[in-house]
């Protein structure tokens, strides 16, 4: 038999931070949106806000435009800072495509 040994070409990934912990429940929580304003987000995210408010009495869902919007800005540190100081328990990011 001929054995051929060769390198895995995919490199190495480094995990430097954990995913955010999940919430036990959405009851009474404060939820925000980070929107890239693309792909019908202007219709979908308001619908999702309505759904959350209907399904979880006591939940606070911030307006879709509570944080800066748009593909160009949502990845910036300033947006992350605003999200942190807003006191939200979770954010929903949309819409990717």
Partner 1 sequence: MKNAVSGGGLAPDAAMVTFPINMFLPGSDINPLQERRREIYEGLTGWKSQSARAAGPSKMLEVEGATYEQALDKANSLLLARKWGDGLPLLPATKERVDWILKGAALPRTHVLGKFPPLGGVTTVETCAIALAMAGGRPEYLPVLVAAVEACLAAEGFDQLQATSGGPFPAVIVNGPIAKQIRLNSGFGLLGPDPQHPAGASIGRALRLLQQNVGGALPGVGTMAMFGAMRYTNAVFAEAEDELPSGWLPHGTQRHGFDPGTNSVSVVFASGVANVRRRGAKKETPEEDALNGMWRMADFMRAPNLAVLAGWEKGTPGVMMIGPVVAQRMAEVGWTQQSIREFLWENSKIPMDQMRRAGAPAYIEIDSNPKTRASIDLDPWPISIKPDNIVLVVAGGGHPTHSYWLQAHSPTVPGRVIRTPETFERLLDEADRDLGGNV
Binding of residue 83 to partner 1 (CB under 8 A)? no
Q: How far apart are the C-alpha atoms of 79 and 65, rounded to whole Å? A: 12
The minimum distance between CB 85 and partner 1, in angstroms, equals 20
Contact 92, 83 (CB under 8 A): no
84 binds partner 1 (CB under 8 A): no
Smallest gap, in angstroms, from Cβ of residue 83 to partner 1? 14
Tell whether residue 8 is a contact of partner 1 (CB under 8 A): yes
DSSP string, 37-52: --TTHHHHHHHHHHHH
Rounded least distance, CB 6 to partner 1, Å: 4
């Amino acid at each position: 038999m001929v054995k051929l040994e060769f390198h895995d070409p995919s490199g190495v990934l480094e995990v430097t931070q954990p995913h955010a912990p999940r919430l036990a429940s959405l009851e009474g929580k404060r939820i925000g949106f980070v929107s890239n304003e693309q792909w019908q987000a202007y219709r979908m995210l308001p619908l999702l806000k309505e759904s959350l408010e209907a399904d979880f009495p006591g939940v606070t869902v911030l307006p879709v435009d509570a944080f800066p919007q748009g593909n160009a800005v949502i990845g910036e540190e300033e947006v992350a800072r605003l999200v942190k100081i807003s006191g939200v328990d979770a954010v929903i990011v949309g819409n990717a495509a």
